[in-house]
Every structure is written in structure tokens, then in C-alpha cells.
Amino acid sequence: MRENHLKILQYVTGIGLFFLVGGYHLLLMHLGKGDPESWSSVAQRAASAGWLTIYILILIFGIYHGLHGVRGLILELSLPNRAVKVLNWSIVLIGLAVFGYAVYIPIQAF
């Protein structure tokens, strides 16, 4: 049952990423004005609560979707139970570390 819930979350985050990343790309590359990669644009977006919310949602959904996908691939190798536990904890720790690093950048930079 637990695996089913994790799989449903995988679907939900996948759908969420499709709309969030698609919408983000559309807003930034097609509807936005100026160079989205310039320092002033980046600083402006980092100071906006709306953009930060989108970034953090993309980050959470992306980390879960990516790491759960990798976990599924590794589990196909028929690992013993102990290795599965180590894998699960490693995935959680990697996810938290990536999230911490990615959130630290905008907080520290501006």
C-alpha cells in the first residue's frame, strides 16, 4: 500500500511539473520582456514572493519525482531488504541536501 501511495505521488508531482515548468518557461521565455538570464532579471525574480513560490514548488516536485524515479530503477535490481532500507534513507538524505542547497542560494545571494 505504501508503494502505491508513493507511486500516486510520483504521478501527481509529474503532472505538477508539467504545468509548473511549462508555465514557467512560457512566462519567462515567450511572454517576458528583456533577457531573463541577466543579473537584474534574476535579482528581480529572486525578490518576488510569487516567483520564489513557483521555484520552491518546482524544486520539491522535481526532487521527489527525480529521486523516486531513480529509486524505482535501482529497486528493479532485486536488492535485499537491508539494502533497500539503506537506499531509502540515502534517497531521503540526498533530497534534503539538494533542497537545502537550492533554497540557500536565493536566500544568501540577495
> Interface residues with another protein (CB under 8 A)?
7, 11, 14-15, 17-18, 21-22, 29, 37, 39, 42, 46, 62, 66, 69-70, 73, 76-78, 98, 101-102, 105-106, 108-110
Number of DSSP helices (H) and strands (E) in the chain, helices first: 4, 0
Question: Which residue is listed with cell 531521503?
Answer: 92
Distance, CA of 70 to CA of 54 (rounded, Å): 24
User: Given the complex with another protein, which of 18 and 89 has the nearer CB atom?
Assistant: 18
Longest dimension (CA), the chain: 54
DSSP alpha helices (H): ranges in the chain? 2-25, 39-46, 49-75, 81-109
Minimum gap (Å) between residue 108 Cβ and another protein: 6
User: Given the complex with another protein, which of 29 and 49 has the nearer CB atom?
Assistant: 29
Minimum gap (Å) between residue 5 Cβ and another protein: 14
Minimum gap (Å) between residue 39 Cβ and another protein: 5
Distance, CA of 56 to CA of 44 (rounded, Å): 16
